[in-house]
Amino acid sequence: MKSISIYNVVFDYMNKDDVIAHVEIKDGAVKIKRYEGLCPLHESMTTVEEVLHALRDMIVPETRANIKEVLHSLGLEEYDVFKIVRKTRGILYNNFSWIRFSDEMDFDPIPFRKRMGMNIWRAN
């Protein structure tokens, strides 16, 4: 996984195999294109902080009882929303939304979901 910054990143907010929003952040300037479907990212968002706030719901909460162990398992020393999303791609057990980064367009969430015992939407 290439090291990228929240201030220079391109990603798609996915629901299953569908692109719901396309996000481009260049030198901290935010551009979001929304398509059909539910998505916490809106075209009116103009700051990196707004994007991070929206992504926060896709990761383990900072108040989780064993947060230090979770961070350690991700190879992180501190709670950082973007770094956690980058490592987990925002994949959660209870929904089919996830983040596809432009430098990992071939990533498929199905094998990961299968390994974790999560529901899947297609056979792989």
pTM of the entire structure? 0.88
Residue 17: pLDDT over 90:
yes
Banded model confidence at residue 36, pLDDT cuts 50, 70, 90: confident
**Mean residue pLDDT across the chain:** 91
Average pLDDT estimate for 4-29:
93
Instruction: Report in angstroms the alpha-carbon separations of 73 from 93, 112, 113.
Output: 17, 15, 17
The answer to whether 61 and 84 have CB atoms below 8 angstroms apart is: no
